Structure formats: structure tokens, C-alpha cells
Amino acid sequence: MYIQADTEEQLRNGIRLIEPLLDPNTEEHLKHKMMQKQALAVKLGLVNEQGCENCGERGHRTWACPLNLGTFDKPQIQCEICKDKSHPTCDCPYKKGKNFSF
């Protein structure tokens, strides 16, 4: 790793901030890692940034809310082309002119 600074004091401050992140056993490293995971989950759409529609808390989807009283059901989908339940018909890999038989 290479660190560059204008002054010796800036260099020491930079090292002081970076070193805890390099040791996976420090609390700073674990906090930084958790923040990265949360940011990635939001970016991938796995977590609602505004919060759960049931409880308002962040960190889980509405259908996975621990306070879910049965008012929200996870949508059940099934592709009409290949009958797979992992994607809707519009996303079927066989849709684009490929020959298939089931």
C-alpha cells in the first residue's frame, strides 16, 4: 500500500485512520464492513431505503418483516413459457426466438 501526504502530520493522521480498517478483528473494520454490505443491499434493491411498509424500520423487505401480520404475501410468479417459478414470462431466457419444448 502507498500513502502520500503533503505533511508528516497528514501522513500520520491518514495512517491512523486506515490501520484499523486493515485489521479484520477491530470494531472499526467490522462497522465499515457492515456499512458496505448495507449500501450494496440498497443498491441491489434487496432492502427498501425508505424502510419497511409494515414497521418503518430499515434492513428488511416488507414481506420479511418480523411484525408481518399476514397482510402482505410474497408474490407467486411462474413463467408461462417454461413453467419455472424463478422468473416472470417477460424475463424468460427462452422467449427470444429460441426453440424449446417442454
Q: Where are the domains of the chain?
A: 8-70, 72-102
**Res. 100: pLDDT tops 90:** no
Angle at which helices 27-43 and 8-22 pack, to 10 degrees? 70
The mean pLDDT of the chain is 79
What predicted TM-score, i.e. pTM, was given to this entire model?
Answer: 0.36
47, 41 Cβ separation under 8 angstroms: yes
More confident residue, 39 or 6: 6
How far is the C-alpha of 29 from the C-alpha of 45, rounded, in Å? 24
Q: How far is CA 23 from CA 27, 29, 33, 77, in A?
A: 9, 7, 12, 44
